[in-house]
Chains A and B, each alone.
Chain A
């Protein structure tokens, strides 16, 4: 069940749900909270390496960071999303979720209609700026304003969990971080299945 406005406001008042900064209370809607585009970006670029290799735990074809360029903007400045380009960003807001609430982040409908796409699920107890993995799926570049409320999160009550019961790759992220897909432990096992030791 998604949390309603009064439940979200109560959690914020009790400091169980932390959103910092919450620049305007009007960001809290009937069943969502609006989130703003932050000012740090990792923009996908074409480099000298042939492809992004997420199939190996030791990528020999170039690490992921070779495919992304770091850039910053002023708060209130503009940013251009090119068609088909993957851009990693972060919400302006730093969030700490209660241990029994998860969040589902999506573009606000107004930006979805332009071609901005992303879909992220955030685990209960998460703390940090929400990671944004954005793609412009339209055929045209889209100029946006840094700090605009481009995203919305729905909040779902879950069973109480401990976010730190297992090792986390991303803790207290405040800017976009390169994918940690190569660090998934399963990869070693899968590689072994593919090439068993004789």
Chain B
């Protein structure tokens, strides 16, 4: 019976694979991953299932589930639907935090048919070693690339205002990868319990963690809240205050600003922390977090967007000229600055004889952001290929 169930499971996989194996992708990492899946599926199909004991069947079940999960996200990361502009920006940020010559991660999008779930991160295919270890042990196959799965609503795949939240989701990956916040939570409790904080520190910690955060029974809550705070600051490095603005709205606006849950701090506190970081206000919490980040990842938490990138081109109805990858996320900041304070600048500059409706203003800015990033990608690929030929 067990063997027959495994046969059924594998048959279902083969049916899914028949379609997915023809997928084409925007980048070599996914092609490489799919090629490894091909060898893996072939290796399983060559096996005689009737010879397996229960432990071996369980290993195959896990591997097949792993392949199903991989196919599920690869299917919505094909060139046909892939929002490569935003992913290119995220990949650039990722490469700043994880050296691509040491570890190869590819960001993949899972387009979901829901607006309510908004954006989320799934680190299983990137960080969960169990399946990769079984595959290595049983089939001697290594995945050179691992997939970072970011879920986004299908309706917003090419929306650059909401997509900035993806920087926050990438922050969760960085946190899990380097194990930044979990030990930091213990450090905070230890420091409190060993009376290492001064009076003003305590006021600050009590503001951002308004419960008995020093008690062991609150460790999980403290860790969850730190995860959100870290990801907020991670995003703020690239897009300033704008992901917080959006999160505030999505989570219920001013009426819900002080609400706190076991997993999320209040949006008011999250916004305040981002402000402190961007304004470089004195903060023991941020300073200690910076130290924890540096100790675990060797990286620096700092503002990374460029204030040199202005929105004047957008007002003139032109794409922004991006010269280096470091300027990519600055385009989002420039676009949000214009949208957030919009007072008919486009109509005035371009001698419009009629007012633009707000949906048109959104469409214009969104299109220009897409084209700014697209032009950067095309131009840099062009130059690279030219250098190869010459």
Contact = CB atoms under 8 A, between A and B. Distances in A.
Contact of A77 (B79, B321, B364): B79
A166 B353 CA distance: 7
A164 B378 contact: no
B119 interface: no
B56 interface: no
Interface string B117-158: 000000000000000000000000000000000000000000
A94 B368 CA distance: 10
A23 interface: yes
Interface in A135-172: 147, 162, 164-167, 171-172
Interface string B79-107: 11110100000000000000000000000
A127 B367 CA distance: 12
Given A72-B80, A174-B374, A164 B364 contact: no
A23 B379 contact: yes
A164 B350 contact: yes
Contacts of B351: 162, 164
Interface residues of B, number: 32
B22 interface: no
B378 A92 contact: yes
A76 B321 CA distance: 21
A136 B360 CA distance: 33
A73 B80 CA distance: 7
A158 to B, nearest CB: 17
A92 B371 CA distance: 9
A168 to B, nearest CB: 9
Interface string A62-106: 000000000111111100000000000000101010000000000
A162 B353 contact: yes
B355 to A, nearest CB: 10
A20 B371 CA distance: 9
Interface of A: 18, 20-21, 23, 39, 71-77, 92, 94, 96, 127-129, 147, 162, 164-167, 171-175
The 9 closest A-B pairs by CB, nearest first: A174-B371, A164-B352, A174-B367, A127-B317, A172-B364, A165-B353, A172-B367, A21-B375, A21-B379
14 contacts: A18-B318, A20-B318, A23-B378, A72-B79, A75-B378, A94-B318, A147-B378, A162-B351, A164-B350, A164-B352, A166-B353, A171-B364, A173-B367, A174-B370
